Amino acid sequence: MKIGELSRRTGVSVRSLRYYEEQGLLSPARTPGGHRDYPEAAVDRVILVQQLFAAGLHSPRIARMLPCMQAPEGGPNERATAKLTDQLKAERERIDGAITDLVRSRALLDEIIAAAVERDHCTRGTSAVRA
pLDDT digits over 114-131, tens only? 999 988 877 776 555 554
Considering the domain 1-80, what is its CATH architecture? Orthogonal Bundle (1.10)
pLDDT at 126: 56
pLDDT at 96: 92
Question: Model-level pTM greater than 0.85?
Answer: no
3-state secondary structure the chain: CCHHHHHHHHCCCHHHHHHHHHCCCCCCEECCCCCEECCCHHHHHHHHHHHHHHCCCCHHHHHHHHHHHCCCCCCCCCCCCHHHHHHHHHHHHHHHHHHHHHHHHHHHHHHHHHHHHHHHHHHHHHHHHHC
Extract the residue ranges of the chain whose pLDDT is less than 70: 70-80, 125-131
